[in-house]
């Protein structure tokens, strides 16, 4: 799946990952839509916002926006493939915590 959001991984023999820039291959319209969606993440909540804030603090907001756009694409791919987005579904432990809080 080539949509211009794939990072360029060049792994050297010392085990360190050297990450490259965005390739800009693929659909410009999809790349635009993902970037627009990623811009709204900081105003909402959830696991993507936490990831955005963590990356933005370390690398800057523009890099965080591209990273979150790539994460949105990954979640969409696995959601279409598996029929669910695992990081957004509640697990049995989450349900137990909610029951414990209610009691």
pLDDT digits (tens, 9 = 90+) for 35-91: 999 999 989 888 899 999 999 999 999 999 999 999 999 999 999 998 887 776 666
* 5, 33 Cβ separation under 8 angstroms: no
Residue 46 CB coordination number (10 Å): 11
Residue 92 lies in a domain: yes
Residue 2 lies in a domain: no
**Number of domains making up the chain:** 1
The answer on pLDDT for 12 being more than 70 is: no
CB proximity list for 17: less than 8 A, separation 6 or greater: 9, 10, 11
Residue 3 lies in a domain: no
Residue 38 lies in a domain: yes
The answer on pLDDT for 4 being more than 70 is: no
Residue 77 lies in a domain: yes
pLDDT (0 to 100) of residue 84: 84
How far is 30 from 36, CA to CA, in rounded Å?
10
Residue 90 lies in a domain: yes
DSSP string for 41-71? GGGS-SHHHHHHHHHHHHH-HHHHHHHHHHH
Residue 71 backbone class (left: φ over 0; alpha: ψ -120 to 50; beta: rest): alpha
Confidence of residue 92 (pLDDT cuts 50, 70, 90): low
Residue 1 lies in a domain: no
**pTM: predicted TM-score of the whole model, two decimal places:** 0.67
Q: Domain range holding 44?
A: 9-102
């Amino acid at each position: 799946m080539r949509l211009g959001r794939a990072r360029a991984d060049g792994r050297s023999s010392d085990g360190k990952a050297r990450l490259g820039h965005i390739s800009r291959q693929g659909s410009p319209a999809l790349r635009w839509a993902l970037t627009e969606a990623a811009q709204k993440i900081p105003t909402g909540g959830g696991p993507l916002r936490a990831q955005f804030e963590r990356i933005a603090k370390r690398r800057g907001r523009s890099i965080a926006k591209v990273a979150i756009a790539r994460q949105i694409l990954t979640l969409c791919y696995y959601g279409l493939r598996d029929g669910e987005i695992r990081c957004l579904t509640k697990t049995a432990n989450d349900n137990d915590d909610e029951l414990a809080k209610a009691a």
